[in-house]
Structure 1
Amino acid sequence: MSARRTRWPVTLAMIAATGLLAVAPCAHAFDVLRTEGGISATPAAEIVPDPAGCQFGPPARPLLLAEAVERALCSNPKTREAWADVKAQAAAVGVARAAFLPTVSGNWQGVRDDSATDVSGHPELSSNTAATVRSESVSLNWVLFDFGGRAAALRNASDLLAAARATQDATLQNAFATVAKDYYAAQAAQGAREAAADIERMTQDSLVAAQARVDRDIAPITDALQAQTQHDEAVFNLTKAEGDAQTALGTLASNMGLDPDEPVIVPGVTAAPLPDPTYSESVAEMIDEVKRTHPAVLAAQAQFEAAQAKVAQTRAEGLPNVSLVAKYSRNNQPASLGLGIPTFPATGHDAYIGVQVTIPFFEGFGRHYQIRQADAEAQRQSDMADGTQQQVALDVWANYQALNTATQNATHSETLLAIARRSFDAAEHRYRAGVGNILELLNTQTALARAQQRRVQALADWHNSKLQLAAKLGRLGMESIDDNAHPELR
């Protein structure tokens, strides 16, 4: 009867051990507990979902914004860090799910046992044995009930995974916006350099014209000197503009994971028709939406929910739990019938199965303070979520106003440039005809230079403002880019 009673727990333990050992090698080949389904194939996540999209050669010449964004999202350390956080949290979900499964462990031991007993005065009772002893055992432990501790731990891990995914989205939005800002800054710097080169050529022409009039005794020497001063200042500004352009291009290259000295050429700022500053939704609607849907808000809310689950988990860990325990062991320890009787080869078997109840009666008040700590952390996460909502709302408001300003400035800069160009052409014609004076020519020349620079900067600011508002709304994607015209706010 005893042998029949021990046979089925032994079989249970051996089947469990065999099953888990068979699954273990597969765990390295695929996701057994299905936790990695939502992990993107690249650090760029859904913005660049194709793994081949993160394989790049030398930068295109000229470099378009779409390529710059793809390079930056794939190689930016912050996007890779956020991607790694998602994978780590997915693994944590797997750990939490694994807590619902039994654990099976095996043990094997092989020893050489040399034992000698010398009984004084009674050599017939002495013994001297040597044997190689082997023992094997398989143990099973399965927590059946724990007052919701494992379920709370799983909710905590799942919420943290949701927070990591939302944080990854927010990181991608920020990286996208940063590279776009630096791209347009490089365009503006490059445009400023070209404008400075044009001004240098114009001042050179003015200097030649002034010197010709001085040589013919039509104008005083001061005309040539003033023109020379204006030209030297233009050369100075051109040199500075070239340095600023190289710095901006180096910053853009660094954003893309390239060395700052990597040759990069960006196209000029486009002057596509500017839209009427009207929008399909009001700024109040934008603010209301962003407070609900922005990735940073979703991440903060998920962190708060994870903190609440942690409170429940901490409480449950201080309550009893019920486990199923089983063990089977065997050995070949030699046996003896008594003192002085030689040992004989033998085998031993032991098996048990049962229910174990663990009750934490007293933990030195540590559990009480752990719960208080978890409650305080949940409150902190709630306050952080409120702060995040306020910040994203303010960001949308500020960037909405910046876009309105940039739109108006872009329109005004076009008018200003047209007027400045006509003024300079008229002044130059008058001076060459001997009617105007050098001050009139130089003043209109300076005004034209400023108008050209403002036009380039205004266009770059407008393009950038469109993408920055989309970023603050959490709507940036590759569809937001139109390298043939201008970015569209989706």
Structure 2
Amino acid sequence: MHTRVLTNGKSLRRILSILITALSWPSTALGVPDILEDPLGAQPGRLHTGSALPDGSLIACPATIDLSEPLEPGSAIDVALCNNPQISSSWAGIKIQAGALGEARAAYLPTMRVSVSRLSNRTGNSSLSGGSDPIRTGIQVYGTMNWRLLDFGERSANNKAASLLLAAALAAHDASLQKIMSGVIQAYYDSMTAQSHLIACKKMAEIAERILAATKRREAHGAVALSDTLPALTALAKARLNEARAQGDFNKSLSMLVQSMGLAPGTALRLPQNLELYRADDVTELNLWLREAEDKHPSIRQARAKLAADQAKITVVRSEGLPSLDATAYISRNGYPNQGLSNNSQSVTTAGVSLNLPIFEGFGRTYKIRGAIAQVEQSQVHLQETTNQILTEVVKAHADALTSLGSLKASEQLMAAATQGLQSSMRRYDRRAADILEVLNSQSSLADAEQERIRAIAEWHSARLRLLANSGVLGMADLVQEGK
């Protein structure tokens, strides 16, 4: 008997050693899929393929861009999405909810446990028997199996709620992408506007220098008095002051762009030299954008999924207070856990079905159900607030897009007229048909027209992309088209 037990113990240890080695060996090394990574298929495909924008373009991290080249909007977005911690947090949220879904699906499967112990029993009283106490050594094995056969919708509702929460996590990740993209777009075009303003101020300073030079030449020939030169000198000083302020504004906006991209402070960036390229798209009717946002905006989809999950939670809470039917079985050899070896080597196998009937829970179930219902009411309000907020932003962005689109042609005409006006004033001044004040007024009008032109183009770029982002459909293709 004793020899047989030791032999079984060695065989059991050999089997356990083989199992541990097999489980610890990476399945990918054997050329087969790792079924233990996601055996219940709870992980969404996005965790394997990576994040994607509404147009299907994937986000490849780390983003590789050449900062020595002029920065395009798409490149700025790539870097920002890879560096922003909010994106990483929402990505981790997807993994958390995928784990919760796997746990909910696992409730349909049986659970099995096995404990193996090597024990030594010492019995008797050596002082009375006059000899040593007998020692008995052996292997004790105990295994259990539990399997829920029937409930009243608890597992199904849990599985549904987990699936909906996973959908909400995916939508939250999409919402984070759109939010970060919108912020970077705003910072990018703020920087472009500031740079264009700086270029315009430098241009105005050059014009002021030419006017001052022409005035000094006329003063040297006695054609004009010092009273004409002083206003030109004042205009030049003012132009240089505006240039210095524009340089400061540009440096500030560029720093904000670096910060929004998640780059190290002080990182040098280059921007395209002008903001003249734009696409005067036809902005469709507002109702179409509102329907698009209500159907596709990730924040609204997230709120809807959360509401549906909370509604499923009501079923979960109610089902927990209903009867359930479980199948149970256990097998033991040489005794039971936390006990010594049995006197005789024996095996015991037991199987049965247990019916669980909750009788009284101290009214706790009633309050849990009320809490779940209140959570649904709160989620309904949140959905309504989110929808109203998103649609309001769409209305504003649509109005801004229409306004900026209408301003483009007007600013172009204003710019052309102001340029011709300054050229005419300069010719008249050279022929002594106009005084210096007329020239300076024309210069000021050109500066104002230049600012209006810059503002109109920047507002169109920003409003168009904000309209797409607020509708939840902004993709990388939209950013690439900005440079075409």
Alpha-carbon separation, structure 2, partners of 1:289 and 1:227: 55
Following superposition of structure 1 onto structure 2, how do residues 298-377 of structure 1 map, counting pairs within 5 Å? 298-331=301-334, 346-377=344-375
Partner of 1:208: 213
More deviation, 412-421/76-85: 76-85
Amino acid at match of 1:370: K
Inter-partner Cα distance in structure 1 for 2:132 and 2:277: 104
Q: 1:283 aligns with which of 269, 286, 309?
A: 286
**Quick check: 1:420–1:448 contact (8 Å CA) kept in 2?**
yes
Q: Cα deviation per residue 1:169-188 (whole Å; 9 max; x = unaligned)?
A: 22222222222222211111
Conserved 8 A contact 1:195-1:452 = yes
Residue 72 (structure 1) aligns with: 80
Which residue is 1:438 aligned to?
436
The aligned runs of 1:398-477 (5 Å cut-off) are 398-477=396-475
Compared with structure 1, are the counterparts of its residues 312 and 335 closer, same or farther at alpha carbon in structure 2 (3 Å cutoff)?
closer
Q: Which segment drifts farther, 346-355 or 283-292? A: 283-292
Residues 63-462 of structure 1 mapped to structure 2, 5 A cutoff: 63-117=71-125, 123=128, 128-272=133-277, 275=280, 277=282, 279=284, 282-331=285-334, 346-462=344-460
What's the Cα RMSD here?
Answer: 2.8
**1:477 Cα deviation from its structure 2 partner:** 1.0
Q: Determine the C-alpha separation between the residues in 1 that align with 2:62 and 2:342.
A: 69
CA contact 1:274–1:407 (8 Å) conserved in 2: no
Q: Partners in 2 of 1:206 and 1:272 — Cα distance?
A: 30
- Kindly indicate whether the alpha-carbon contact (under 8 Å) linking 1:192 and 1:241 is maintained by their aligned counterparts in 2: yes
The one-letter code matched in structure 2 to 1:364 is G
Q: Structure 1 residues 24 and 324, CA, compared in 2 at 3 Å: closer, same or farther? A: farther
Deviates more, 1:31-40 or 1:477-486: 477-486
Q: How far apart are the structure 1 equivalents of 2:482 and 2:401?
A: 21
Deviates more, 1:284-293 or 1:327-336: 327-336
Paired with 1:276 and 1:58, the residues of 2 have a C-alpha distance of 30
Supply the distance in 2 between the matched residues of 1:359 and 1:189 (Cα, whole angstroms).
Answer: 72
What amino acid maps onto 1:444 in structure 2?
Answer: S
Farther off after superposition, 231-240 or 302-311: 231-240
- The alpha-carbon deviation at position 305 of structure 1 amounts to 0.2
1:341 corresponds to: none
Which residue identity lines up with residue 430 of structure 2 in the other structure? R
> Gapped runs of 5+ residues in structure 2?
1-17, 28-33
Contact 2:55 2:473 in 1 (8 A): no
Tell me how far apart the structure 2 counterparts of residues 267 and 372 of structure 1 sit (CA, whole Å): 59
CA shift for structure 1 position 406? 0.6
Which sits farther off after the overlay, 71-80 or 134-143? 71-80
Do 1:326 and 1:353's aligned partners in 2 also have CA atoms closer than 8 Å?
A: yes
Note closer, same or farther for the CA distance 1:117–1:301 as it changes in structure 2 (3 Å cut): same
Does 2:60 align with 1:56?
Answer: no
Taking a change above 3 Å as real, the CA distance of residues 278 and 322 of structure 1, as seen in their structure-2 partners, is: closer
Shift of 1:294: 2.1
Structure 1 residue 295 displacement after superposition = 1.8
Look up the match of 1:31: 38
8 A Cα contact 2:52 2:59, kept in partner = no
Query: What stretches of structure 1 of length at least 5 have no aligned partner?
Result: 1-17, 337-345
Per-residue CA shift, 1:150-183, capped at 9, x if unaligned? 1111111000111111222222222222222222
Size of the aligned set, in residue pairs, is: 455
Further displaced range: 187-196 or 445-454:
445-454
Q: Distance in 2 between matches of 1:308 and 1:24?
A: 41
- Cα distance in 1 for partners of 2:136, 2:451 equals 95
Q: 308-317 or 180-189: which moved more?
A: 180-189
In structure 2, distance between residues paired with 1:276 and 1:334: 84
Would the aligned equivalents of 1:301 and 1:385 in 2 still touch at CA under 8 Å? Answer: yes
TM-score (norm: length of structure 1): 0.85
- Aligned counterparts of 1:403 and 1:50: Cα–Cα separation in 2: 28
Provide closer, same or farther for how the CA distance between residues 53 and 154 of structure 1 changes in structure 2, counting only shifts above 3 A: same
CA deviations 1:30-66 (Å, max 9, x no partner) are: 3211122432433455667556564414335111222
Q: Offset at 1:192? A: 0.8
CA contact (8 A) 2:421 2:442 kept: yes
Give TM-score scaled by structure 2 length. 0.86
2:46 counterpart SS class: coil
**Amino acid of the residue matched to residue 316 of structure 1?**
S
State the shift of 1:376 in Å.
0.4
Q: Deviations over 1:435-456 (max 9, x none)?
A: 3222212221122112112211
Structure 1 residues 324-333 or 420-429, which shifts more?
324-333
Q: Distance in 2 between matches of 1:245 and 1:258?
A: 17
Match runs of 1:11-22 below 5 Å: none
Counterpart of 2:478? Answer: 480
Kindly provide the CA deviation profile for residues 203-238 of structure 1, in whole angstroms up to 9, marking residues without a partner as x: 122222223333333323232222222212211211
Taking only the aligned residue pairs, the percentage that are identical comes to 31
Q: Which amino acid in structure 2 is aligned with residue 153 of structure 1?
A: N
Change (3 A) 1:392 1:452: same
